[in-house]
Amino acid sequence: MLEETVVQDVFAKKRNKTKWFIYKILFITLGAVLMGVGLELFLVNNRILDGGIVGISIIISQLTPAPLGVLMFILNIPFFIIGYRKIGKSFALFTLYGIAVMSAVTLVLHDLEPVTDDLLLATVFGGVTLGLGVGIVIRNGGALDGTEIVSIIINGKTPFSTGQIIMAINIVIFLVAGLVFNWDRAMYSLITYFLAYKVIDIVISGLDESKSAFIISHHYEKIGAEIIDQLGKGVTYIDASGGYSGDIKKVVFVIISRFEEPKLISILDDIDPNAFLAVGNNMSEVRGGKMMNKKTPHL
């Protein structure tokens, strides 16, 4: 009986791992396809660049007969090897798969006419499409550009953030684009990069981005009850002591979305306008702690 249970557990774990792998592959495929569509149907034929290795590949493809898809794949291989050694096997393999799909899509779509030759429309829709694609891939454990891998590795050895490193690399690429093509294309490329960056942020963090809120008030129980009643959120009461006064205080801790912050402030204004409130931004992931019913004032 025990052996049968062990065998069932093993098969269950394998099924769950297979489902997880299929889920990741499907979404990385979707993201890579969106990236390829954004490049070939909006940007490349209008001579608008993305950043990173993709941007370098676009510049070379415009100056030589080499296909963009082949260039992107070849130029990213060294970074795949670095990622495999430094970051992890699954990340590197998902990245290689994503880059392969993206490169194949650009080869298939290369001879098609762009959706629009209006530079502003191409910039906006190309940037949004790229951002969606890259964001989906990153959220599922991969990457579509070697500079992302390099920046992650360099980040641990320098005082600069990953975003600052990527931005510095891309500024150099856009300057080269201005010299090779013209400066208006470089400026459109910069707009594309900015739009893609913001969309990536939304895809990874979500429109319903979570925030942490800390509230200190003598009316903490009433505030907690109103948060539970009006926002449907679980709250946690934390014991704390004042660093100057040494007084024992209760801190109300709650996770809210960006859209719920005004309502939280309204609750505080009604109960205790002098309450201390600190809201932390950019909580990339919040799991568990679901409130089972409104009588449970815990996270």
- Report pLDDT for 90: 84
Q: What pLDDT does residue 162 have? A: 60
The β-bridge partners of 252 are: 215, 237
- Look at residue 294 in the predicted model and tell me its pLDDT: 42
**Mind listing the pLDDT tens digit for each residue in 55-111?**
999 999 988 999 999 999 999 998 888 878 777 788 888 999 999 999 999 999 988
**Inter-residue contact 202 to 135 (CB < 8 Å):** yes
d(CA 181, CA 47): 8
Give exposure, 185-224, as e/b (b: 16+ Cβ within 10 Å): bbbbbbbbbebbbebbbebebeeebbbebebbbebbeebb
Eight-state DSSP code of residue 46 = G
**How far apart (Å, rounded) are the C-alpha atoms in residues 250 and 247?**
10
Which pair of structure tokens corresponds to residue 280?
């932390």
What pLDDT, on a 0 to 100 scale, did the predictor assign at position 155? 61
Spans of the chain, pLDDT less than 50: 2, 291-299
**What are the residue ranges of helices labelled H in the chain?**
2-38, 52-63, 68-86, 89-109, 119-139, 146-155, 162-180, 183-205, 220-226, 261-271
What pLDDT sits at residue 233?
Answer: 85
| CB contact set of 153 (below 8 Å; sequence gap of 6+) | 82, 86, 87
C-alpha 53/C-alpha 143 separation (Å) is 12
Token pair in block for residue 21: 């792998």
All residues at 6 or more sequence positions from 284 whose CB lies less than 8 Å from its CB, including other chains: 204, 205
Give how far Cα 69 sits from Cα of 27, 62, 100, 266, 267, Å. 20, 12, 9, 53, 55
